[in-house]
């Protein structure tokens, strides 16, 4: 079993399968010059499956597929089918910006994917384009509708709330839960990578989100689905749920149960720690060691609490 120095059981692995993304979101994109990974530097699906298999033997039970934008990677449906064959893996989810979901949803569902998280930070088309650099709000919304129609459950909508940009939409985003069986998750703006758009004044705190919502309807604790850090609530007469994730104002490090595998094969113990293990070099015989030893080393290096500072890598290079 993977248990760190502070008694936390590590059973969740977030796997980035690409650093590519078709969006240029203001809160994600680095101000530094960024070069895409070469094709040969990205882990092959067979290599990732080997890592997950070893992880499952050590107690990994949950896997989330991320990017960049994971639906840009060819044959992601094959990868999901193969993941589901690994004994011990009980839950597989995927996080996407939703742009390709309309075309990909059926194939993903047929591959056995049930859980899906979709980023949608605004309900206003013009603001969406300003945020992402893409005229794609309608495509994303239609993708969400398709996912619901096909029976994905849960469908979670991730909204990073930035003061002065979309904090005026907190209530409108929450109202999606009145009519749709979705979980709208509000996330505090985090300093990932060197990003000129991030500063402390732009952070709209979880307490402010709660206050704004409770001015309309009370928030009542609700059953949580999944192993993430969100606190989950029912809101008014909603058929859906509301989640609040507060990495800035209310640390949840004491409950952290995850490791991260980057697209170029680095195993990271913490989102905000720049410590990485070059697992790709081990897999390809370019360095000594074993995948099993790398897992134990990563768990040993998990910090007790996060230190909020801009990471050397930005989000698409770590895995969202």
Cα–Cα distance between 244 and 140 in angstroms, integer? 22
Split the chain (320 residues) into runs of 10 and give each run's mean pLDDT. 95 96 79 78 98 98 96 97 97 97 98 97 97 96 98 97 96 98 94 68 94 97 85 95 91 89 95 90 97 97 78 67
Measured in whole angstroms, the distance separating CA 239 from the mean position of its chain's CA atoms is 24
pLDDT at 272: 79
Return the pLDDT at 185. Answer: 97
Radius of gyration of the chain (CA): 19
Contacts of 49 (CB under 8 A, 6+ apart): 79, 82, 83, 86
E strands of 153-302, at which residues? 155-161, 182-188, 219-221, 231-235, 241-245, 258-261, 266-268, 277-278
Residue with tokens 């980023």: 119
Query: Residue 249: its pLDDT value, please?
Result: 87
Which CATH topology does 12-318 take? TIM Barrel (3.20.20)
At 85 the pLDDT is 98
Report pLDDT for 148: 98
Residue 28: predicted pLDDT: 75
pTM over 0.75: yes
Query: Which residue has tokens 């293990």?
Result: 277
CA distance from start to end of the chain: 25
**Residue 82 has what pLDDT?**
98
Q: Name the DSSP letter for residue 169.
A: G
247 close to 190: Cβ distance less than 8 angstroms: yes
Q: What is the model's pLDDT at position 260?
A: 96
Query: How many other β-carbons are positioned within 10 Å of the β-carbon of residue 287?
Result: 13
């Amino acid at each position: 079993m993977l248990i760190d120095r502070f008694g936390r059981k590590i059973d969740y692995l977030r796997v980035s399968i690409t650093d590519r993304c078709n969006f240029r979101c203001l809160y994600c994109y680095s101000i530094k010059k960024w070069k895409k990974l070469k094709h040969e530097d990205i882990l092959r699906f067979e290599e990732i499956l080997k890592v997950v298999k070893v992880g499952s033997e050590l107690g990994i039970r949950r896997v989330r597929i991320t990017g960049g934008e994971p639906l840009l990677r060819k044959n992601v449906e094959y990868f999901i089918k193969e993941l589901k064959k690994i004994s011990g893996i009980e839950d597989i989810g995927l996080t996407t910006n939703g742009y390709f979901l309309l075309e990909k949803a059926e194939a993903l569902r047929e591959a056995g994917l049930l859980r899906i998280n979709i980023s949608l930070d605004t309900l206003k088309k013009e603001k969406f384009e300003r945020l992402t650099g893409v005229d794609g709000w309608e495509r994303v919304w239609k993708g969400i509708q398709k996912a619901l129609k096909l029976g994905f459950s849960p469908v979670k909508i991730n909204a990073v709330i930035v003061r002065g940009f979309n904090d005026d939409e907190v209530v409108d985003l929450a109202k999606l839960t009145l009519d749709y069986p979705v979980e709208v998750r509000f996330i505090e703006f985090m300093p990932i990578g060197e990003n000129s758009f991030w500063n402390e004044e732009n952070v709209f705190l979880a307490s402010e989100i709660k206050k704004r919502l409770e001015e309309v309807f009370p928030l009542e604790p609700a059953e949580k689905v999944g192993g993430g850090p969100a606190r989950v609530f029912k809101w008014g007469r909603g058929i859906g749920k509301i989640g609040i994730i507060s990495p800035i104002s209310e640390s949840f490090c004491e409950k952290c149960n995850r490791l991260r595998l980057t697209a170029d094969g680095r195993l990271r113990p913490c989102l905000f720690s720049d410590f990485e293990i070059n697992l790709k070099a081990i897999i390809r015989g370019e360095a000594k060691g074993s995948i099993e030893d790398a897992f134990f080393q990563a768990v040993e290096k998990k910090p007790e609490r996060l230190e909020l500072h801009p990471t050397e890598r930005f989000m698409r290079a770590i895995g969202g």
